[in-house]
Structure 1
Amino acid sequence: MRFRNASVRSKVTALIVSLILLWAFAAWVTLREGVNLLGAATVDSQVVEPSEPLLVELQRERRQTIARIGAGSRGADKALRDQRARTDAARAEFAASIDSTAVSLAAEDSLMERIADVRAELAKLDQGRKSIDSGRAGGAQAAAAPYNNVIDSLYQMYDSVAAFDDKEIAKDGRTLSQIHLSREWLARGDALMAGVFARGGFTPDEHAEFITTAGVFRHTLSTAMSQLPDEDWTAFDRWMKSDPATRVQAMEQRLIQHDPRVGPLPVDAEEWRKATESTLADMQRVTLAAGDRLAERIVPIAVGVVVRLLLAGGLGLVAVIASIVLSITTTRQLLAQLRKLRDAAHELSDERLPRVVERIGHGEVVDVSKEVPDLDFGDNEIGQVGQAFNAVQHTAISVAAEQAELRRSIRDILLSLARRTQGLVHRQLTVLDVMERRETDPEELKELFRLDHLAIRMRRNAENLIVLSGSSPARTWRRSVPMLNVVRGALAEVEDYTRVTILPLGDVVLVGRAVGDVIHLLAELIENAVSFSPPYTAVQVSGQLVANGYVIEIEDRGLGMKPEDLASANERIADPPEFRITGTARLGLYVVSQLARRHDIQVRLKASPYGGTTVVVLLPQDLVEVDTDPHPHEGEASPALPRRAVAVAERAPATHNVRQLKVAADPARPQPLPQPVRDQPRQAPNQQPAPRAVPARTGESEETVEPKQPEFTPGGLPLRVPQANLAPALREEGPSTLDDTEEDDERSPEEIRAMMGSLQSGTRLGRTEAAKLMGEQPGGDS
């Protein structure tokens, strides 16, 4: 089962290996010579060729090192460090090449021993460099010793490579190895002269060493050239007669005849360097060309071995080879087509499809035939799979385009419905406003306020749909609005607003262009804080100016969020994903993120030390201004407080009386409202809000009457008691609490007259003040 699930390449490889093993077992005797030649070719490509660059770099580093020592410098300058880096790179490449399995199989034991010697000498090279840099190496001869040892081990390795079974080829290989060795003697003489030129002259020992080196070079070269085949001899003879080689020979002769104790050197250093570099490079090129010709001569011998193998193996061998060739070519074609098909599938899923969907989402017209060109794999089985894939990708692109168009259409539908709903809600609020103004019955007015509150919440939901569809709500302000009114406007859109306590916010106003969005954003966050905290706890809203703008903190006393949930929520707010119609989870966070991005507002959630969650809303400096005018801005609408002001007044503790809240809610222009009670103490999550004093009516004593401690339902919601917050005189004339189930309670005419008179006077005063703000004359009683 495991082999059945293996890849095609693995199966074909297993088949080829089995055929090769069978062929090798049947024809080993005949193949022995051919295997030896193939092994020589492997050694040449895996051992000899990678060692050539290493040899050249070692010779260059040796020359620079001796020149550095001759100049009397210690350490390594930049040129020497760069050369060492090139040497190390060639050494690493050589080490990686000789570590291959092919070398261990093709090389004989003697060659493996020589390779091990090269490894050992290369390992000593780093220690030799340290001795040279520290000055412990001594003279030039001692400094050149580590390099000479490595190079000598490489030439011994070359001698082992040249041991072929064919005597003629083996002889020519040894000859080329001797010529290559003569090049090393020329390089040693060049390195020696680099130190001499740097110091400015020969020492007697150096002059003697140079004469010896030059003599060895000439002798080994002439001896080896005499044994070369005619074609190779012609190439080397042409090199010997070249201008750089003849100049080197002439300069060598002058240096040999020079007396180191008399006069300056008879050769210019730069002329010597250029001539030797050119000579060494040309000699390397000619030697490698001769090696290539030797390799070409091996080919006919290998062909002869193969012919004998064919004759010995017969048709069985032919069948084996044909099977191998057919398997390899078929596998390559099959894998190439499958790879092309795989790449096309990845390109479709990772690039084309998302790009087309994004373009369609932006409203662009997409040509499917151009975006998804057909793939041509021929008419075989792979070609049929390719044709099926063409159909699949066309269908996928078309479906993706339809889905993107559908999502855009759904957003347009949502926007249209939200706009219509928004218009209806505005009309409903207008009707409710008219009904509230002419209603005098407290109970009916209270119900109208509840409807008003529901309508305002419906408006926020409609605006949520507008934001989700990518548009902006129509509510705008031209002038700045006090921050207190902005927060109160947000409370007007929250269901359980009675649990929210507004702490001092400072004398700050919000610029008009951001008022609507900030109200919406705060309403979403406050609604979230109220919804995910116990009903007996309070939510506190505070604000203050900071260095980067104005910060508003919304703190609840709930169970809080896990650190990973906080991180996820903050990430969704900072970088919201693309809105999809498929899910409705955390739409509030998406709305908040869109509103915050519109005005560069920073919103971040963090754990509260009281056990809940604190939301920090940072408004940038260009959205807030310090309110230097004690009067409201003229001619602009203020965020309307809920017409349910009566319900706000009935909550305990009360911050404002009914008349003040009603006056702030009714006019079209903002009305200055008293600041909330400052220094309000924070309460524990399991405590009820502490009662605050309710001002007495005008004309009564200045004493404050403490309201009764509010009662709560079994579910933890405050139990509303009618007339609980009325002035003491009114509460003394009638019962303090009423039975909600009692429809026809008996009141005296005096009680009814007092109640209606109080309501009428408060309504008249509120309308009079509102009419003044609107530039109208106060009306009569209505």
Structure 2
Amino acid sequence: MALLLVPLVSLVAIWAFAAWITSRGVFALFDVERVTDKIGYPVENAIEALAEERKAALVRLADPHRPGSLRDLRTAEQATDKAVGVVRDNSRNADLRNRLDAASLHRLDGLVAQAADLETVRRKVDDGQIATTAAFTAYNDEIDPYYSFFHGLNPLQSVALDRQARVLTELSRGREAAAREDAVYSAGLAAGRLTHAQQLQFADAVAQRRLLFDTYPQLLPASDSRLFDDYWNSATGRALRSAEDRIVGADVDAHPEPGSSDGLVVSAGDWQATAGSVLGDLASLDRQAAENYKGRVTPFAVGVLVKAGVAGGFGLLAVLVSVVVSLRTGRSLARDLSALRKEAQEASGTRLPRVMRRLAAGEEVDVDTEVPRLEYPEDEMGAVGRALNTLQRAAVEAAVRQADLRRGISDVFVNLARRNQVLLHRQLTLLDTMERRTEDARELADLFKLDHMTTRMRRHAEGLVILSGAAPSRQWRKPVPLMDVVRAAVAEVEDYERVEVRRLPRIGVAGPAVADITHLVAELIENATVFSPPHTTVQVHGERVANGFVLEIDDRGLGLTPDALLDANLRLAETPEFELSDTDRLGLFVVSRLAQRQGVRVSLRESPYGGTTAVVLIPTALLTEGIGDSDTGEQRAPAAVARQAVREPAGDRGLPDEIELPVTDGGGDEAFREWGLVAEAPCEEVPARTRRFEIAEQRADRLGLAPATDRSARPEGPEPSARPDAPVPLPRRRHAPVLVADNGRTVDGVRRTTAPGGDAAGREQRPAPQATPGGLPRRIRQASLAPQLRADDTTRTRTATPGAAAPATDDRDADEVRSRMASLQRGWQRGREEADDLTVPDRPTGPGGDDTGTTSEGDGR
């Protein structure tokens, strides 16, 4: 509509200007009629009254004692006052003044102001202090401005009519000249003689009258001009001319003497009859000429009105037609624009977001179905519609191509991550074999560190899979104790020794959610350790709530600003689309993706220590009841699926105990079959305890040392051998996080046992060792040695009683004695350091920077 408003307003402005131009003549006609009625006729009456008063004053001055002269003067003065009063009153009318132009208003105000001078002339006449000729001039000066006012009174828009109006004014002035003749000669008759000055005034008036009547009637139309010509050719006109000639030609001395001529060549009776008749006839002729003028003005006024009406009417009609056409065109444009706007809004607000959501969900999108090619009319709006449709298709096509590109990138990431996982699984298997084979404690500690580092690398590779939108390959079929899940998460953290895990209730996590919950908690604990000082601890505790179970992870770092905390919580709650440019918060994105997948709610808040607390709400649907605690329960893992071991390095502290997490169920076979990680034939279940722990016990038995850890939970039955074609083991953690009771004291958990399982690789059944009265395990000599290394063949089969130990050999070489003594020394040193750890949290390392021979039990972290 704004486009149509400009030409419409321009058309209306042009029509208004044309209407004003044409109607101005109509308004001028109305003004002429109004002004003529209000001021024209009153001014004419004032002129006639002043002429009568002038004659009476001159007669009074010529013969003060003449009977009736004073009465005639007073009567004339009253008539003049009345006529001038009407002019004065009408000049104050606001409507009249609005209809007059500036020049006419100025002359009218001059008339009203000059009327005050008339009193001065009258006073001089009454006192006889003014001469006749002076009085004649004074009254003439009062009358002349009235004729000047007539000349500029609202001229018409017609040149001919305006000229005729001016001619009528001049003819009226000619009648005034005849009245002046009458006044001068009447004064001479009253005085009994005509002075030379009076004769000059008379002659001047005659010349003026004849000039006006001889000139201006010719400018009138023929009918009016003929009226004046006929009159002056009549007897009355000729009589006046004859009398004027005689008076002007009379011999009047400038300085008369007794007996000289008095100049009164025309008798009083003849003059009064002739002059009176002429003045009356001229007034009649003026009125008749004015009426004829009005008759000529009427057609002109009608023509002006018709022109104004036609111009205004046709202009108004054109404006109305333009308005109608503009409205129809504007509505059509508005409809088309509204349709295009709705289409654009639908595309930007509904269609494109729906396409983006479908693409984000991995669905296939057909561009022709989502954005079909629409048909538009062949006009400008149609061109805009086609361009908009093309733009929508281009946007959808770009989104599809972008989704394909991102899907390809994700597939590349997943492929790379899967390959890394295969290599990491193989590396873990190789490390397990090396840990079995090595006899050196320092090398074993380094292998454990490498084992833990490999476990962390596997978590990072799994995070890459999660970032790519795929599910991790580790899957569980059976529920897993929540304590094992938390310990497994701690085992995947670099600074696991700084983590304090308080006692958790005996509750299980559903198998399909174990991997995701473990990874989620590991990411949060990793953040807590990274963004807190190295000398502080990270506490993990939880409790049941109405909607599930809440885990809280507290750190003692610097915390987050309110804006950063709000932004992090938004990322955790909304799970935005992963952007390749946002690489500084991969952990938050992984946590958000895992939480969304399992329905877990994760939020951050300020911790009581000034750092940050991560709150993890595990819904009830992911929890199970009636499962044993990790310290007392028994876990079996199907060997038909690859096992993954979560390991923690022992550092240089010796060989601490460990726990094992659940292994994947059969659902992961397809995920690993393409890399050859699934065994061809099913194998027996494997014990929950790790092989490294047994290897450590065997070495300790060979060295004659009691292990630092509890052996009472040793599994029975043969242990599977680490053959190359066996399934890849799941990650196992060799060092459990410290279990802290609610009162803050360390709790010594009881080792869990598992049912025997696995293949029969030559290992013999071992009975569980009996415990001493003090609760310590009773060692069976040579129970951990290979059959080839035992003293004799009769003792190669392990007995079920503690006393069935093989006899010791007295032949010991120097190397064996030295090794035993060194082991004994390391055991004493480790015991002293463990005793120091109970009171000194941060103890210095041993010489050379290592902690060889120490253990992490009782560490509290």
Q: TM-score range by the shorter chain?
A: 0.3 to 0.5
- TM-score scaled by length of structure 2: 0.43
- TM-score scaled by length of structure 1: 0.47
**Which structure carries more helix by proportion?**
1
